[in-house]
Structure 1
Amino acid sequence: MSMGGFDSSSFLENVIQCYLLILQVHAMVMVMKVDTNRFMEDVSATQLLLLSSLLFLLPCSAYAACDELDRDALLSLPFKEPLNWSASTDCCLWDGITCDPLDHRRVIRLWLPKRGLSGVVSLAITNLTRLTHLNLSHNSLLGSLPNDLLSSLPSLQVIDLSFNRLIGRFPPSSNGSSHLQIINLSSNFFNGIIPSSVLAPSISIFNVSNNFFSGSIPMSNRSSHASLTFFDLSFNEFTDTIPPGIGSCSKLQVFRAGFNALSGSLPGEIFKLADLQQLSLPNNSLSGPISGGIMNLTNLKVLELFTNLFSGPIPTHIGSLLKLEKLLLHINNFTGPLPPSLTNCTNLSTLNLRMNNLTGELSAFNFSTLQRLTTLDLGNNNFIGELPQSLYSCKSLTAIRFSSNQLTGEISPEVVALESLSFLSISNNNLRNAAGAFRILKGCKNLTTLVLAKNIFNEPLPDDKSLGNPVGFQSLQVFALGACQFTGQIPTWLSMLKNLKVLDLPFNHITGPIPASLGSLPNLFYVDLSNNLITGGFPIEFCGMPAFTSKEAGDMIDRSYLKLPVFLMPNSPTNHQYNQLSNLPPTICLGNNSLTGSIPSEIGRLKYMHVLDLGHNNFTGSIPEQISNLINLERLNLSYNHLSGEIPNSLKGLHFLSSFSVAYNDLQGLVPSGGQFNTFTSSSFEGNPGLCGPPTANLSCSPVFSASQKSNTQEVFIALIFGISFGIFFGIGFGLGLNIDDKRIPFIPRCKKKCVNLMRT
């Protein structure tokens, strides 16, 4: 309500706020009287009440309406709508706004994370000159920042614009705030070079990770960075070496610069950062040995140097890092044995040394002191000996990988002591006794991933039905036994594993038909039985598999990260690693077998399948038109079969199809054009002399008739012959005539209606 320019509602708000302030002051004074003997010992409660009431008579300037310029600046921002800010209310009461009660009600905090904001950060924000805290993180803001953002906000202490869609360069900081302590611009689309002047001496947290920044790391050895504790530059495009100025960060606790293009060696001064707890520099081109100076980092908990070019031995005295929890040195060129001092790192939970050139007898290393170890990956090295017995005392282990070494022997029954074990990969070694291994491992009740590929060679695939009973592999989700040269048939007990999602048995000598019961598994979405000796037909039961026919079943695929990545199709040149099961494409791969019969039309029900490979078999009949219902299909291989007929024109509607081959069949007719078919080369169609049109070499096509058309054509041909014969006969008859009562009567045959219709065509 407004009366002659007087806003009664605002006045009432100010009165209420003033009164609340008086009550707070009164309460504080009473507390001080009770708790402090030296404060106003002779002041009575009545006098205190009188004193506090006098405040009501003073001007409530501290609780007047917010600064008009600040209010106008806020109203000029493009994301005010979802916040219900209104010009009719005090901006100091708006959502996400904090004002300074002692500085003419100036806005000092704009704190709006995760509010669904969109639009740009407009120039109006630079008018909030008293702003100390700015947090607009986890929204959908677009565009670039005002060039003078930092220099216009001299009081700014915290700026957090992370997890937006901002672009452009880092705003210049010349003449900027000397109070700035926290800068977080992570997870945006910023680019360009960050000037070293941005890293002012007052900065304690600097996070620009997950952007497109380039150039050198923004640090100068001529400046002090004594306040810096958290420094994250990871997932950018920084080049050059780690600058010498890193040594001036005496309080640095976290240094992350992984997933860039850094080169050179680790500078010696980095080992003088006594407070450092995390050193994370993975996925760069750093090289050289790790200096023994790393022993000075006694507070180090995480050391991540994987995917670089480091060489030499792992430092002998690395066991001096008693607080170390994660040691990730995989994908480098480290040599030599595991240092015995590593057993002193009793806080170690993750040890990953995969893909190096480490050597030595693995069974000689004493793992028993590493009681907190949960993840151990020593794959792709040159370790020898048997599986280490001392490992079975590490009761916290959940994931073990020893793949691609030179280990021998058998799996020990003691492995069942690892009750938390869910991931086990011992592929590409020289273990033996598959039947014993399966009988033992079924006792690992929490085992979800079992990879024994390229191992236990030339043995029968165990078909003990007890392996699938309620005390068997009931938690198993990934079962990979590729390239073991197993003999025998696909075990029927696999159909009892209701949680099975990935079945990988390629490159073996498996015979017999595919068990139809596999099609009843509710979670199975990846089946690779390729490169075997399997006979029979395509199981019609596979056409009803829930993971391929139901979106809901597909969405149920576990999207959590695996304990360690898995590698499928061991002999494939496209051998990728997968960190989540949900990243695996829904697949049925039955290529390179001896399957016969036709491809069932019911296959069109598998509309959530991404890969179908039936190549190199003996399938006959035509390509089912229903394959065009597989709208998510990315790869289709029907090559090297005995398929006939035409390529269904409807297949060009498969918009995600990137790989297609029907080479070496008995197909004929015009190759479909349009859609993805315009991207396929002649190799997708070679070996089919009857195919024509681009991209085949046979560009001109002769008409190809269907069976009914062929029948009609034959009738036309017969009718034409009959017509010609009739013409000849009629001509002769007309010339000679028939003398009946001295009249010439021509011979006119009586033609059936069908014949007449054909003659008209």
Structure 2
Amino acid sequence: MAPNLKLSWLLFSLIFFISIAISVAELCNPADKKVLLTIKKAFNNPYVLSSWDPKQDCCTWYSVDCHPTTHRVISLIILADDKISGQIPPDVGDLPFLQTLMLHKLPNLTGPIQPTIANLRHLKSLDLSWNNLSGSLPSFLGSLKNLTLLNLSFNNLTGTIPSSLSQLPNLGSLHLDRNKLTGQIPDSFGYFEGEIPYLYLSHNELSGKIPASLSKMDFNVVSLARNRLEGGAWMLFGANKTTQIVDLSRNLLEFNLSEVVFPRSLTTLDLNHNKIFGSIPVAMTELTFQLNVSYNRLCGQIPVGGRLQSFDLSSYFHNKCLCGAPLGSCKG
């Protein structure tokens, strides 16, 4: 090969391999990278994000995942760091292909749920749990139609639950527990579109009656404990439902237990600390479940059979006139 031709070939090869190296080193979309660096700055450059080096491909950064072919950022997960402080940077809404946003156990993360999150139309999982977020639950969350998980538990969120959440057709799990939410459970929760989510609303300040519309839903899990709910709970039960876990403990519920028809699928039923009256129905002997009806106003003999005698005293005590094993024998 002639010297000039050989030199040209070497130069061509060098340029080719350099271009490949550059493209491999910088798969991350430049716009996404810029947004991530803005988020890092907004969080005061915490140590947990020290791998976010502008000289490196952002698809290799800790807490970041990119799509394997488009290389757009699809996941941002930041966990358990008390050095991150301030509010959620509004710039998170500028990651248009984000599917997972998880900011979890960041005790110094404060302020509201940013309105810009409404821009994340591809979002499937939004987990902002165990922080110190405040403000109301924004109704725009109902516009994120691809959500399968919405977890806002363990925060300081206030105000009412927006009815728009029932418009999420793919929602499999809704966690609003451990906040300071007030008002009633939306009637729209009896009209979830598509998936029927696991429903966690416990440890809030919800009041009023459980909507009758919930009779239309076959929830797998319903947790409404430690609120101020009143009236009946018949709408959560029924012979044709497949509900497994119901926790209504520590409310102000007042209904006749003997009139309720329970699904055979129940694995956990917790009704403690309410104003429930009547007797324990014989049909409960057919259920394989865990039961707590303590601190109510129940009367009569505990039916014999099934698992009802296997529970200890704490499942039954502090009722008006309940008797029979494992409590004391009935008089007369």
Change (3 A) 1:289 1:225: farther
Alignment match, 1:692: none
Alignment match, 1:298: 264
Code of the aligned partner of 1:74: L
1:328 to 292, 309, 313: 292
Residues 221 and 248 in structure 1, CA contact (< 8 A), matched pair in contact too = no
Q: 1:597-608, aligned counterparts within 5 Å? A: none
Note if 1:357 corresponds to 2:323. no
Work out the CA distance in 2 between the residues paired with 1:168 and 1:142: 10
Alignment match, 2:46: 81
Alignment match, 2:5: none
Note if 1:201 corresponds to 2:169. yes
Q: 1:611-630, aligned counterparts within 5 Å? A: none
Give the C-alpha shift of residue 201 in structure 1: 2.4
Give 3-state SS (helix, strand or coil) of 2:213's partner: helix
Give the C-alpha shift of residue 118 in structure 1: 2.7
Work out the CA distance in 1 between the residues paired with 2:321 and 2:309: 23
Q: 1:384-423, aligned counterparts within 5 Å? A: 384=329
Give the C-alpha shift of residue 125 in structure 1: 0.7
Alignment match, 1:234: 202
Per-residue Cα deviation, 1:478-514 (whole angstroms, up to 9, x for no partner): xxxxxxxxxxxxxxxxxxxxxxxxxxxxxxxxxxxxx
Residues 161 and 186 in structure 1, CA contact (< 8 A), matched pair in contact too = yes
Per-residue Cα deviation, 1:693-712 (whole angstroms, up to 9, x for no partner): xxxxxxxxxxxxxxxxxxxx
Change (3 A) 1:198 1:224: closer
Work out the CA distance in 2 between the residues paired with 1:175 and 1:356: 42
5+ residue gaps in structure 1?
Answer: 1-5, 18-63, 368-377, 386-405, 407-761
Alignment match, 1:179: 146
Q: 1:380-529, aligned counterparts within 5 Å? A: 383-384=328-329
Code of the aligned partner of 1:315: P
1:107 to 73, 77, 90: 73
Alignment match, 2:303: 339
Give 3-state SS (helix, strand or coil) of 2:132's partner: coil
Per-residue Cα deviation, 1:112-136 (whole angstroms, up to 9, x for no partner): 2224433210111111111111111
Work out the CA distance in 2 between the residues paired with 1:277 and 1:157: 25
Work out the CA distance in 2 between the residues paired with 1:359 and 1:238: 30
Work out the CA distance in 2 between the residues paired with 1:293 and 1:9: 74
Give the C-alpha shift of residue 345 in structure 1: 2.1
Work out the CA distance in 2 between the residues paired with 1:124 and 1:191: 24
Give the C-alpha shift of residue 158 in structure 1: 0.4
Bigger-Rg structure (1/2): 1
1:311 to 270, 277, 280: 277
Per-residue Cα deviation, 1:284-343 (whole angstroms, up to 9, x for no partner): 111011254433x1111111111111011111221121x21x211111100111112xx3
Alignment match, 1:246: 214
Give the C-alpha shift of residue 216 in structure 1: 1.3
Give the C-alpha shift of residue 180 in structure 1: 0.7
Alignment match, 1:164: 131
Work out the CA distance in 1 between the residues paired with 2:190 and 2:197: 18
TM-score (norm 1): 0.38
Give the C-alpha shift of residue 228 in structure 1: 2.2
Work out the CA distance in 2 between the residues paired with 1:277 and 1:222: 18
Q: 1:667-682, aligned counterparts within 5 Å? A: none
User: 1 or 2 for the larger relative contact order (CA 8 Å, sep ≥6)?
Assistant: 2
Change (3 A) 1:284 1:345: same
Alignment match, 1:12: 21
Per-residue Cα deviation, 1:461-490 (whole angstroms, up to 9, x for no partner): xxxxxxxxxxxxxxxxxxxxxxxxxxxxxx
Alignment match, 1:289: 256
Q: RMSD across aligned C-alpha pairs, in angstroms?
A: 2.6
Change (3 A) 1:356 1:209: same
Work out the CA distance in 1 between the residues paired with 2:211 and 2:119: 30
1:91 to 52, 58, 83: 58
Alignment match, 1:652: none
Change (3 A) 1:172 1:215: same
Code of the aligned partner of 1:135: M
Residues 281 and 303 in structure 2, CA contact (< 8 A), matched pair in contact too = yes
Work out the CA distance in 2 between the residues paired with 1:157 and 1:174: 12
1:72 to 21, 34, 38: 34
Work out the CA distance in 1 between the residues paired with 2:97 and 2:193: 25
Code of the aligned partner of 1:255: V
Q: How many residues align?
A: 307
Q: 1:572-583, aligned counterparts within 5 Å? A: none
Give the C-alpha shift of residue 218 in structure 1: 3.2
Give the C-alpha shift of residue 244 in structure 1: 2.5
Alignment match, 2:115: 147
Residues 306 and 330 in structure 1, CA contact (< 8 A), matched pair in contact too = yes
Work out the CA distance in 2 between the residues paired with 1:347 and 1:89: 64
Give the C-alpha shift of residue 160 in structure 1: 0.7
Residues 190 and 216 in structure 2, CA contact (< 8 A), matched pair in contact too = no
5+ residue gaps in structure 2?
Answer: 1-14
Alignment match, 2:10: none
Change (3 A) 1:13 1:112: farther
Per-residue Cα deviation, 1:168-225 (whole angstroms, up to 9, x for no partner): 1112226722111100000000001121112322211000100001111134167334
